[in-house]
Structures are given as structure tokens and as C-alpha cells.
Structure 1
Amino acid sequence: MPSRRRKKAILNPTMPERHPVDEIQADYHTGLTKEQVVYYRKNGWGNVSVEAPSKSTKDIIKSNVLTYFNGIFLLISILLILVKSFKDLSFLPIIIANSLIGIIQELRAKNVLDNLTVLNAPKATVVRNGKEKTIAAEHLVLNDIVVFHAGNQIPADAVVVEGSVAVNESLLTGESDEIRKNPGDHLMSGSFIVSGTCYARLEKVGADSYINKLTIQAKASREGEQSEMIRSLNHIVMFAGIMIVPIGILLFYQGYFQQENTLKDSVTSMVAAVIGMIPEGLYLLSSVTLAVSFIRLSTKNVLVHDMKCIETLARVNVLCVDKTGTITENKMLVQEVIKLPPYETDSPALPLDELLGDFASAQQADNITMEAMKAFFTNTSGSVPTGVTGFSSAYKYSSVSFSGGSYVLGAPEFILRQDYDTYREAIEEQGKKGYRVLVFGKYEGTPDGTALTGRVTPYALIVVANKIRKDADKTFRFFAKQGVAIKVISGDNPVTVSEVATQAGIANADQYIDASTLETPEVLREAVNKYTVFGRVTPAQKRQFVHALKETGHTVAMTGDGVNDVLALKDADCSVAMAAGSDAAAQASQLVLLDNDFGHMPEIVMEGRQVVNNMERSGSLFLTKNIFSLLLAIFSIAVGFSYPLKPSQISLISMFTIGLPGFLLSQLPNQDLIRGKFMNNVLLRAMPAALTDFIVVASLVVFGEVFDVSSVDISTACAILMAIVGFMILHEIIKPMNIYKYIIIWICMAGMVFCLVFLRDLFGITGMSMRCIMLFVVFSITTEPILRYLIRLVRKINILYNKAKDAFARNARRKMRQEDV
């Protein structure tokens, strides 16, 4: 009879309302009935996640509409309406379009992500009505009977009712040790099954379990962490947001109270300056560009958990890969069985193939090695096992006990230990061919899944191998050309891994080391920068390798598909998992290759480079306007002039020299290596252009005052002069030119000319007096040499700055060495 006890209600505002229920503990063979599941779900006891899987449509609209800068735009729109300057509201369609584009792109990205996430959502095998079926983890309810196999993540707190498993609780405890769980033992949500199979009853679901805390971590949504590009853009936005308020107030005060301009002229002058300083288009362009890249990657079967990682992967200079599933296909075949002399000496009652058949038959096919064993060794004697331990990644063996003795199968170093040297030559001979070698033998004692202490009599070497992926050589050649160092991190024999890596075309694959010899952090840190191939790597060491590489200044990407890769994946700058791997690895990674094709990696890197390189160019255009507007506003306040440009003119110039070309350029292919820091690169391009704009426009305003040119004429001259400088800057920034870039410039110039001729009233463009035209021509001619010499000056200053910085760093290192001595 199933037991019943009252369950207290725990309310959570993000979950369905809970009501007290009678707890039903069904037999593990049959599980809950359909009616019992409905009963639990109706009363709020489902395994519903507290965290929403993605932003809702309402949240997306709010985040794009209710922004700080949109609030500023709303305020200045109200001011313009109050002073009846309606034609200066020409920026409104652009602002509305910007918000709509952001909403549409985010909604499209949300739909793609939601659809792809369904393919990779956490799932569980549940027993209901006496049958096993696989369902989404969120469809589980309290007291469901769940079947766990190796690689599964535990979706809710549970208790083992039948079977035995080894569990990795590293995400919860920080320790990578495996813990054996038997009937009556508790399984914590967020931990992972490493080996074995069991039936478990869910004790705590939804808000009660640990899984809600782990969901954020497992999906790698790293709140607070930003890529370099986004972090730089945030700094620009923050600075502009702080500056526009006091400058806007000062401009209005000066125009209205000191110069005694009309209220309309004072408001429009202030609004023009504020609009010029707002970098909203830059931030929006980055979001749209990343969203478009995300959608492009989704068509290539790449699931992106975090769009920021697209940029990060483009900056990676060290890629850590596993042998199995990355260099080779995630399938293993037995190549050969080599009998060893002790087998003949021992003369066991059963032939070797039957011993191996009995061993394989008793094991679960919970890893690719055991799948290969079960497929190859099919001849059995029918012996009934008295004890079984699944494969332990920590101790590198599995075991089966029969009435006649216990047998183990695993890595030679862990099985043979002190006897390894006796068989070293035979083992390494196979390893040099790229094969993996396992030792099968009889154990003195009864294995319990922990480290072996008794002696093993080796009976045979089992030679197995993975097939190298057909595109592996091409992929690794690509990374070599791009200056990305490959580190092969594997639990297999280093000689074997080295040979496989060599066959896959990995540079310096002959430089290998046994990670079990790296006993101190200092030795490990030195080795990780010296060697290419690491064998016999433990789960804890994988994480240490990532940390050591990051500490030496590298940007590290990590690929993995197993439970033991999770901590290293979490700590890498960018993490990539295969969908065919464990649930844990797929959820812990920022990118998931849904078709398990490592050959997509070059495409992902190229996508990231396109984003960063094009955003640097587009960002320079936006920042040029922001720096120019800031300088001109400060100049106007300092010398007591009215801000010469109108809001409608700023909108016109921004549309055709910044906004439209910036977006079109961001979509062009660009596979150049990323060099330097994002902010430095943007400023190096933007500063000469902004200074040129400021010098010629400010000079034109001053000379306009000297020669008594009307402010209306000067305003038009400044707008056209800014357009000319804008196209010169655009041409300079997007070099080297090609046909597509020329087309972009021609389209933008045609649009500008059309507006100047046919929509001049809308954008405040008027005729100019002869005196104004002469000044305009003079300053138009001076723009090219000013821009050219400023570019040279800024580059020279940057070179001198970098030399000084390097010299300072060298002196600091020399001083530290002297202090150590």
C-alpha cells in the first residue's frame, strides 16, 4: 500500500499556487497514475522552475521602450511641441523605428531560442502507470519515480529506492569526488549521475529544490559579466547619460537668460546639442547586430545560450578540447584483444571471451567504451553477478564480482599501478598507433567503486579506438592560421592522445605530458603553457588548466560533452558543448552544437569577428557625432554662442552619415583578426574625425560672427559642412574599399542629396548668402588636410603611449624580480 502523509504548502509567487496534499508514495515498478499526476499538478506540486526560461514579450517591449534615453527624447519632444517647433521633431520617426527594430529583433531571437531550447531542454525518464517515458523535467511532479542513468542531471531532490549510482555533486559542493548512492540515500538536484542506474522518488520539486539556484548557473547566463564590447558601450552610454543633463540646462540658461533668445530658439538649440550627444543608436546597433548573428548561427544548428559569447569566442587565443567527441566521433569500437601471460598461468575456468562477455553483460551501456564492449563481447556463460560498480572517472575503472571472483576493467595506470612498467612497452606500442588501451584482470578482494588497493592479475589488453572526425584536420588548420593555440585535455593515455591529435592535424601534438605527474599548482601552471597534449587528466585538473591559462592572460574557450567537463566549462571565457553529450555539459555551456559537428567552430569564430570588427567601424561613426556634439556644446557655453545646429539637421546628418551606413556595414563579412581593445580602436578612429568636425564647424561659427553672417545661414552651412566631413570620415573608416562599400556610400550620398533638394524645409535647410557660401567653400577645402594630419597625430600619440606603457610594465616586472632576489 502506498503511504500517505500531509504535505505543507509552500507558496511562491512565480509558481502556481500550492495547496496541501496527501503525499502518495507509489511503488517504483508502477510509478504514479495519470490521475495522481493531475492531482499533484492541480495543487501546485509540479517541478516548475522559478526562473523564466526567457524574457516575456511584455518584458521585451518594456526594456526597449522604457529606457533612460527614450525618457529624454520624450521630454525634449514635449518641449518642442510646447514651443511649436514641430518640424524639429523629425528625429521622432528614427527613435520610434529604433525601438521597433529592437523589439522585433528581440522577439525573433526569443522565438528562435525558445524553439531551439525545446530540443535541448532538460529531460527525465519517468515511470508512470507501469511504463517508462521521457518527458521535460518541468513536467515532473512530487513523488514521481524517475530513472537516472550516467550523464543525467538530477532535476529535483530525490531519494534512491532501487539501484546504485555514483554521483558528482561538484556544482553544489565544489568538490569533484564521486559519491556512491544506494537505496535510502538522497540525491540533490543540480548534481549529476556519473555511472550506474537507479530508480529515485522525487522528494522536493520546484521552489523547494536546489535546481532553481543552479538553473542560472547551468544555463551560463552569467549575470553581471559583460563582453569587452558591451562593457565599453555601457561606459559610453553612462558617460553620455550623465553629461547631457547639466549641459542641456546650461545651454538653455545661456540662450534664454544671457543671450535673450526666444524660448523657441533656446529650446531648439539645446535639443540639437542633446540629441547629438545621445549614443542610443550605437547601443541599439550592437544589440541588433548580436541578435542577427544569433539568428544566423541558429540556422547552422548552433544554440546560443548567451549572445555575448559570440564576441568572446572571436577573441579566444587558446582552445581546450577533449579527444572523444571533439577530435574523434563520439563512438568507440574494439579493435583487438591481446592475451597476457598471467591469463595462461592462472588458467581460469572460463575462456577469455566468455569472461569478457559476462563482464560486459553485467554492466550498463552508460558510456561509449562499455557500448563498444557489449557490442563486441556477446559470448557469455550465463554467470550471475554478485556485485557491480559502474565506470568511475575519478578512479578509471569498472568492476563486476561473481561467485568465483571479481574482475576489473580500466586504465592501465590505475589497474596495474606498481606493475605498469611490466606491460608498458605493449601498452605504449598500441598507444603510438592512436589506440586506447584498457586492462582486464582479476582483482584480489571486492571492488567498491573507490580506489583499488588489492593486486590485479592482468588477463588481457583491450584495444579500442575512436574514428577521427572527417573535418578535424581542416578545422584545426583554421585555428592554427588564426593564431589560436590548441590544448588537448583527455583522461586517456597521453601517448594515445598525442597520436590521435597528430593524425587530426593539431600543431605540436608531439609535446605531451601525463597530467598525473603535475602534483603542484606551480608545476601545472608551467606545464599548461608548455605542452599541447595532456593525458590522464582528472576532473579537478581540467578546471585548474582553465584557471592557469586565464591567469597568464589568455582568453580561453573550452569544449566538452561530459559531466566531468562541467566545472571547466563554467570557468572558461567561452564554453561549447555537443548536444549528444550529457545534459549537464549542454546546460553549462554558452554554445551548443546541436548536430554535434565541431566543424561549425570556424563559422562561429568568423561570425564573432564580423560582429566585433564591424561594430568597431560602426561604433566609430556614432562616437564621432557624440564627441563632436559634446565639444561643440562646451565651446558654445564657453564663448557664449548659440548652438549652431538644429535638431532636424542633426537627424538628417545622423541618418545618412552614421545610422544607415553603420547598420549596412555591420552586416558585411569581415574575417580580420581582432587586434587591440574595443574602446581604444573605436576612439582611434573617432577622435580625429570628431576633432575635424569640431574645428571646421566651430571656426565657421566664429568667422560667421566676425563677418556678420546670419545665424540661419550659418546653421545651414554647418549642416552641409558636417555632411561633407561625415562622408570623408565614412570613407576613411571603412577602408579598404570594395564594390559593396562604394555602393553603401553612393546610396547614403544619394539619400542626403535628395533630402537637401526636395525635403529642405523639413530639415531646416535654407539658402545661403554669398558671404556664407565663400566661408563654406574655404572650410570645406580645409577639412581634408585637417583630417589627414589629425589621423597621423592621434596614431603617433597612441604609439608613444603604448611604448611608454610597455616600458613601465617592463620596469615593474624588473623591480619585482629584484625584490624577490
Structure 2
Amino acid sequence: MRDTTNDIKNIIFNGLTEEEVEERVKQGLVNHTNITTGKSVKEIILSNILTYFNLIFFIIALLLIYVGSYRNLTFLPVIIGNTIIGIVQELRAKQILDKMNILNAPHSIVIRNGVQKQIVSEQLVKDDIVLLAAGNQICADAFVVQGNVQVNEALLTGEADEIEKVRGNKLLSGSFVVSGQCFAKLENVGKHSYISKLTAEAKTVGSDEQSEMICSINLLVKWIGIGIIPIGVLLFYQGYYLNGETIQKSIVSMVAALIGMIPEGLYLLTTIALALSTMRLAKRHVLLHDMKSIEALARVDVLCVDKTGTITEARMQVEEVLPSQTINGIIIPKEELEQLLVDYSFAIQDDNATIHAIKEYTNTLCENIERRKPLDSSPFSSTTKYSSVTFEDGTFVLGAPEFVMREDYNLIVPEIIAFVKKGHRVLILGKYEGSNVKDGLKEKVVPLAYVILTNPLRKNAQETFSYFKKQGVTVKVISGDNPETVSEVAKCAGIENADNFIDASILDTESKLASALEKYAVFGRVTPKQKQKLVQTLQKAGHTVAMTGDGVNDILAMKDADCSVAMASGSEATAQAAQVVLLDSDFAHMPDVVLEGRQVVNNVQRSAVLFLVKNIFSLLLAVFSVVFTFTYPLEPSQISLISIFTIGIPGFMLALEPNKNRIEGHFLKNVMIKALPAGLTDVLAVGSLVVCGEAFLLSKNDIATASTMLLAVVGFIILIKISSPLNKIKYSIVILNIFGLAFCGIFLHRLFAISEMSKICVLLLIIFAFSAESLFRYLSISIEKINDLYLRLKKKKNHIHKG
């Protein structure tokens, strides 16, 4: 049931009273939902405590307490410390991001007590009257009570066509206004709105796709988690039933193997690295809606940018208004043109940078002249590239010359070419000879005047694009403006191959689009749907694509890009849809985001090698022990000692080091190639030491201590290798950890089960230590050669396949 016309007018002018708002708040009819992509405080705490591996550690601790092996509980402080650190860092990152999200929260213009005011969209209530204009995201389900708008519902329905909404039509939350202006009455708010129901459904299905790094770590954790239970059972069975060990010795040996196989600090390291990176970016006014965007942008090899708001500043200004001379050589008097432009600008309901610039210009003209009353108007559309206003003396059109003039475009080229070549944006104001423009321009348009606009180039634009060029990142400029104009601006910004441009309106097939992407760097007259297809085509070709923009015409492409970056000064809907928001709209921050991503991925990758070495060694030695029926030679406290000083502390310290190296290859493969030689060296060296120790009838304490020292030697060898090239900081990290391990081995030897070794045992340790260094070196060379051979064969196969 809809309101009558008089009721609607009253509602629009007055809106709700404060008493009516308070009543709806009490009823819970507020546009607030608890559905969020971020974790709550409770979720952060529980997600760090209630983990699968913490459960395993808890069971292990109970087993050790049961057999009275309290000395081997040395891993517990590390696990508890890891958990606390992880909680604290995530809470700190959440606190900073929550503050930034409040600053960047969507706002709405609402009418209450007959007064327009701007409030946070979450404070709206049911039956509120809101004013919607181009660039606004519709915050709750509503229906139009006055005015008309063009709405894009692609984010909800997948359909990219712009839908006209007039009085009585429904507006779905989550869609966004492309053009026009209207008053709307809210129907379903908060958890009852369409977008909230979709979000809730999506949340029950699963979380967003994770980055490659997180996926790889999750895969490692998954398989290790599956494997440790049967291996633990086998080790206990073998030690207690086959080797005749005591129940205490069997449990202690089993626990030592399991602790070695669990990458207890790797996930924590990744979480902390991402949290610290998020906080560092926050200090540079960069808001991350999605953590995976850090890695995605670091891997980007194609950057798609819009012209307005990205290369240039969002604001526009009218340089001049020139009369057209193509009407039989007759020039319309300047006063008439100014009057028409004033009338047009006041009649059109568009709310974009172009209209703002024109209105700012017309405010200085004809202030005291009576304005014509419009009979009808059509807002600007990014699809048609023009707007229109109908007065009593005819219909007038303002828009892109190519789309307004169509087949007559070449007639006006001589008049505008000079401005286009200088990078100016040119709009044409003309009189339509037909009567209805809503079905398209089917009749001729008589050109009356040219409106010359310009966007100032962003500061540091040249420096920023120069950085991406040095990093091997290809820049594609995709804009709705004239391709020549865009090309000139791109040249001024220093974008490589900016003189290679094309009009996207001729790219009507996917094959033409794919071919053009290989040849051209600048694409003009691109529709929103084409922007999306350009991104998709680049991704199909194997590229990692980032898309930057500030307008609603960029949203579809940004949602499909691997990483999307929005300027906060642009459309509110765009900022909400993007993964990364530059709160101060400074494009110069882009290199900062890339470098942060590189630091996180490269450092976590390097530290992951250290963790994986221990996992590979423990797994293989456990299998070795089962196959050759000897008891696992190490104790949990010894594994803890090695983990602290060759993995944990150096891993975390290296993860904080600046790292600008470009990311290459796949995370899991890169880690495995570097970790496998050290893991194999460990198991071969320790396995051989155990065999020799038994041959020389050495005590089990001697063998365990020698194995611990041997693992420490190999640990520091791999630490030095992955830290190269070494600098003062890295030398300090290595020396500090060697000193720490030596200190614990000498002064805390009882705690870590380090006993005095016999002379034969010391001699065997020295021999195997030197052998381990050589073995590690040759295994590293061999695995690298095998990988190179694999890459060459793969490249050859791909070349044959393409041929």
C-alpha cells in the first residue's frame, strides 16, 4: 500500500520526528547488523585458543604429566606465549581498523523534523526518508517516493544493465545509484534488508577465498594435522610393545616426534605479520577491508587505472565555454549560450564531478536572470555518455561529442582536436531535433557550444607510475573519456606506451578485446561492463590484476580484480566495494601497499622454510624409526631448545625485516625447495649418528645430546643460507641465537636434557657436523637443478602447446 500524493509531499518535506525515530529504535527497527567480515573480540580470542594443535598440545601435556616427565613440558610456555601474542596483535589491529572504518563508514542524507542532515547509515530507521544521488550505495531496502534514478544492481543480481527507478519502484540494498536523484522511504532495514540476508547466507556457506600464502599454510597445517595421529600411535606401539621401552620413555619419544612435526609458530607468525602490516598501512591512511589484498597487490603484474580520480585529481574545473561554428557558420551570442548553460545546470539532477564543475562555473554567470523551468530531464549515464533537459523551446543534450554527434562527429573534430590533444575533456552542448531521448538519440543533434574541462594531474603521479614501470608492472588506463584525451593525460603522468590508444566502443567481441590488450595501453570510451571484461580477459591470460578507481563505473571491474583500490574522495559505493581504500585519496601510497605486501609474503616465506625443515625432519625420522624399529632418539625439551633458537626467535625477527624483493613463483613450492635439502640433511645426519652411536655402544643420553647439537648446527646453516645476503642486523640475529642456545645448553642443561658427551661421541658429532654441511650444500644444488630442469621442460611443453 502506497501513500497518497499529498501524504508523500508531507513525508518528503518533514520526514520522521525525533519521537518516531526513538520509538523505532526501541523496536529494533534500526539499520544496523552484526554481520561483519571482521572478527569480534570474542572470535579473535577463541580462534587463537581453540585450535586443533592447541588441543594436541593439551593432550600431550596431560600425557607427560601422567608419566611424570615434567622437564619435557618446556614447550608449554612457548605455546602459551604464542597464543597471547597472537591475541594481542590481532586485537591491536582490530582496534585501529575499527577506528578507521568508523571514519570511512557510509553516510546518508536523511530528512527528520523537516531538516536535511547527514548521519551514519547504520543510524537510519525504518520509514526514514533519504536523499539518494549518483555515487550513493543504497543502504537499506526502500522505494522511490519522488524523483528518478538509474540504479546498477550488478553486485546483487549479476546484471550490469542500468535500471531506471521511478516513483513506487523498489530499491534493493547493496545496489548503487549511477545517475539521477530521488527521495526514498526505507522499508527493510538492518538484518531484514536484502543485502544482509545475502551476506548472512554467504557467511554460512564459507569465508572469502584466501590468498595463495594463506591457502598454502592451511594446506600444510591440514595434512600435518591428519598425519600426526597415526604416526604417534605407531611410535608408541613400536617403543612400548616392540622395543620393550617403559611407558614413560615410549610416551616421551612419541611426544618429541609429534612436537617436531607441529608448525606451532607458523600460523601465528603469518597472523602477526599481516596484523603489523595492516597497522603500518593504517598510519599511512590506507584502510584494508580484506587482509588478502596485501599479498594480491604484491603479486600484481598488471595495474588497471581510471583516469579521473586516479591519474588526475577527482575535482574538475571548466576552462572555458566556446560556441560551435558548424551551424552554417552562424555563432550563437555568448549571452544566449551562458543563459542556456545556467538553465541546464540548474535543471539537471546529476551529482558528479563534471556537473559540480559546470555549476561552479555557472554560479558566476547570469545571477539575476530568470531561469527557464524544465519540463523533463534525463541524468547522465555511463552507458549513453550524455544527459538531457527538455524546456519549452526544445530538448538539449550535454555529453561526449562522439556519442552525441554520432555520424556527424567528424564535422566538429577540427574545432575540438586542439583541446583533446592537450588532455582536456570536451563536452558538447547541443539541441536535439527529436522529441524523446530516453530511447536513444535517433535524430540529429545541432551543436551549440563546447564545454572545456580539465582535471589537474595528481602530485607524485609520475613518480608513482615510474615505480611500477621499474617493478615490471604493466599499466593499463581504462576510462570512459575520449581516448586521445586519456592518452595525453597518461603521457603527462609518464605511463609507458601511453601513445598507444584505442576507442573501446569498437571492441565488440572478446577476441578483439584480448587482441587489443596485447597492443594498447590506453582504452577510451570504455563502458562499466567493458571494464569488467578487460579485467577478466587479463586474468584469463594468467595475469594478477589490480584495479583502481573512484567512481561507480569502476565497481564491476573492481569486484572482479584480484585486488581493488578505491579513493575515499570518490563514490561512497566504490569505497565500500574495494579491498583497499586510500583514505587521503593519495595515489602515491600505492608503492607503500605493494612494498608492505612484499615484506609480508617474502618474510613469511623465508621463515616458513625454518618451520618446515623441522617438520620434514621429524616426519622422516619418525618414519625411519618405525621402519628400522629403533626408538625416536630425541626428547621434547631438546626439540623445544632447537625450535626456540634456530626457528622461533630468528623466524619472527626476520619476518619484521624490510624486504622489497619482487615475489616470484608459488609460496608452497618456494618453501619446499629451500626446506627439503635441510630436512633431508637433518634426517640422514641424525639417522647415521644414531646407527653409529649404537655400533659404538654409546648411551642413549649421549646419542640424544649429540643429535640435538647436530640439529642445531644444520639449523644455523639453513638460517645463514636463507638470510643471505647477510647484513649487520642478520649477523646479529644469528650470533644472538647461537649465544642463546649455548647459554641454555651450558647453564640450563638439566631443563633441556643436555648431558655431558663422551670423547667418542664428541668426535662423531664433529665428523657428522662437517659431513652435514657438505651434504646440505650438494642436496641444495641437486634440488635446484632438478627444479630448473622441470621449469625448462614445462616452458618447452607450453611453447609446443601454444604453437
Where does residue 818 of structure 1 map in the other structure?
Answer: none
Shift of 1:441: 0.9
Secondary structure class of the residue paired with 1:155: coil
- What per-residue deviation string (whole Å, max 9, x for no partner) do you get for residues 222-274 of structure 1? 92411111111111111111111111000000111111111111111000000
Change over 3 Å in CA distance of 1:215–1:117 after alignment to 2: farther
Tell me how far 1:54 sits from its aligned partner.
2.8
Task: Give 1:165's match in structure 2, choosing from 149, 161, 165.
Answer: 149
Does structure 2 conserve the Cα–Cα contact (< 8 Å) formed by 1:390 and 1:449?
A: no
Counterparts of 1:206 and 1:287, CA distance in 2: 31
Is residue 2:110 matched to residue 1:126? Answer: yes
Q: Does 1:734 align with 2:723?
A: yes
How far residue 102 of structure 1 moved from its aligned partner, in angstroms, is 1.2
TM-score with structure 2 length normalisation? 0.96
Q: Does 1:326 align with 2:310?
A: yes
Deviation, 1:446, is 3.8
Contact 2:633 2:704 in 1 (8 A): yes
| Alignment match, 2:19 | 35
> Which residue of 2 is the match for residue 14 of structure 1?
none
8 Å CA contact 1:321, 1:487 repeated in 2? yes
Which ranges of structure 2 fall in alignment gaps of 5 or more residues?
none
Q: Which of 731, 738, 743 is the aligned partner of 1:754?
A: 743
Letter matched to residue 116 of structure 1: M
Q: What secondary structure, in the 3-state scheme, does the structure 2 residue paired with 1:158 have?
A: strand
- 2:201 and 2:578 map into 1 onto residues whose CA distance is 10
CA RMSD of aligned residues (A): 2.1
Q: Match for residue 469 of structure 2?
A: 480
Q: What SS does the aligned partner of 1:576 have? A: strand
- Residues 216 and 562 of structure 1: CA distance in aligned 2, closer, same or farther (over 3 Å): farther
**Contact 2:326/2:412 (CA < 8 Å) preserved in 1?**
no
**1:349 shift after superposition:** 11
Rounded to whole Å, the distance in 2 between the matches of 1:428 and 1:716 is: 83
Further displaced range: 68-77 or 154-163: 154-163
Offset of 1:216 from its aligned partner? 7.7
2:134·2:350 contact (CA, 8 Å) conserved in 1? no
For residue 229 of structure 1, the aligned residue among 187, 210, 213 is: 213
- 1:332 is matched by which residue type in structure 2? M
SS in 2 for 1:550: helix
2:322 aligns with: 338
1:142 aligns with 2:132: no
Q: Which runs of 4+ in 1 moved over 6 A?
A: 23-26, 216-219
Gaps of 5+ in 1: 5-22, 815-821
Confirm whether residue 184 of structure 1 aligns to residue 171 of structure 2.
no
2:764 pairs, out of 768, 772, 775, with 775
Deviates more, 1:55-64 or 1:270-279: 55-64
**What is the number of equivalent residue pairs in this alignment?**
795
* Alpha carbons 2:546, 2:561 under 8 Å: kept: yes
What's the CA shift string for 1:794-818, capped at 9, x where partnerless?
Answer: 111111121222233333334xxxx
Cα distance in structure 2, aligned partners of 1:218 and 1:670? 36
The equivalent of 1:366 in structure 2 is 351
Distance 2:701 2:798 in 1: 54
Secondary structure of the equivalent of 2:652?
helix
* Residue aligning to 2:560: 571
Structure 2 counterparts to residues 199-214 of structure 1, below 5 A: 199-213=183-197
SS of alignment partner, residue 341 of structure 1: coil
In structure 1, the residue matched to 2:521 is 532
- Aligned partner of 2:648 in structure 1 is 659
1:179 deviates by: 2.1
2-structure distance, mates of 1:509, 1:149: 34
Structure 1 residue corresponding to 2:360, chosen from 371, 375, 385: 375
| Preserved contact between residue 54 and residue 114 of structure 1 (Cα < 8 Å) | no
- Specify the code of the residue in structure 2 equivalent to 1:530: K
TM-score scaled by length of structure 1: 0.94
1:709 aligned onto 2:673: no
Encode CA deviations 1:342-368: one digit per residue, 9 max, x unaligned.
466485896211111221122246111
Whether the 8 Å CA contact 2:478–2:523 is kept in 1: the answer is yes
Is the deviation greater in 747-756 or in 376-385? 376-385
Number of the residue aligned with 1:424: 413
Which one of the candidate residues 253, 265, 271 is aligned to 2:249? 265
Q: 3-state DSSP class of the match of 2:287?
A: strand
2:670 matched to which residue of 1? 681
Deviations 1:579-602 (Å, cap 9, x if unpaired)?
A: 111121111111000000000000
Q: CA deviation at 1:405?
A: 1.5
Contact persistence 1:237–1:280 (CA under 8 A) = no
Q: How many angstroms apart in 2 are the aligned matches of 1:548 and 1:171?
A: 19
Map 1:590-629 → 2, pairs under 5 A: 590-629=579-618
Report deviation, 1:166. Answer: 1.7
2:788 pairs, out of 799, 805, 813, with: 799
Instruction: Verify: 1:249 aligned to 2:228, yes or no.
Output: no
Could you tell me which residue of structure 1 aligns to residue 634 of structure 2?
645
Indicate if the aligned counterparts of 2:180 and 2:350 stay in contact, CA closer than 8 A. Answer: no
CA contact (8 A) 1:428 1:495 kept: no
Q: Secondary structure at the residue paired with 2:431? A: strand
State the secondary structure of the residue aligned to 2:163: strand
- 1:270 and 1:222, CA in 2 relative to 1: closer, same or farther beyond 3 A? closer
In the alignment, is residue 152 of structure 1 matched against residue 136 of structure 2? Answer: yes
Equivalent residue number for residue 394 of structure 1 = 383
Q: Distance in 2 between matches of 1:96 and 1:608?
A: 28
Q: Aligned partners of 1:463 and 1:348: how far apart in 2?
A: 18
State the alpha-carbon separation in 2 of the partners of residues 166 and 810 from structure 1: 48
> Which of 184, 192, 196 is matched with 2:180 structurally?
196
Within 1, Cα distance between the matches of 2:21 and 2:582? 34
Residues 463, 66 of structure 1: alpha-carbon distance in 2 compared, 3 angstrom cutoff? same
The match for 1:700 among 689, 692, 698 is: 689
1:448, CA displacement in angstroms?
4.5
Shift of 1:90: 0.1
Deviation at 1:305, TM superposition (A): 0.7
1:728 Cα offset (Å)? 1.1
Equivalent residue letter for 1:191: S
| TM-aligned CA distance change 1:347 to 1:306, over 3 Å | closer
Change (3 A) 1:203 1:348: farther
- Structure 1 CA distance, aligned partners of 2:601 and 2:168? 53
**AA in 2 matched with 1:106:** E
Worse overlay, 671-680 or 175-184? 175-184
In 1, Cα distance between equivalents of 2:8 and 2:406? 50
> Shift in Å at residue 790 of structure 1?
1.0
| Pairing of 1:499-514 with structure 2 (within 5 A) | 499-514=488-503
| CA contact 1:405–1:442 (8 Å) conserved in 2 | yes
Letter of the 2:549 counterpart: G
Moved more, 641-650 or 199-208: 199-208
Q: Deviations over 1:282-307 (max 9, x none)?
A: 12111111111111111100000111
Matched-pair contact (CA < 8 Å) for 1:190–1:214? no
In structure 1, the partner of 2:544 is: 555
Residues of 1 paired with 2:724 and 2:37: CA distance? 42
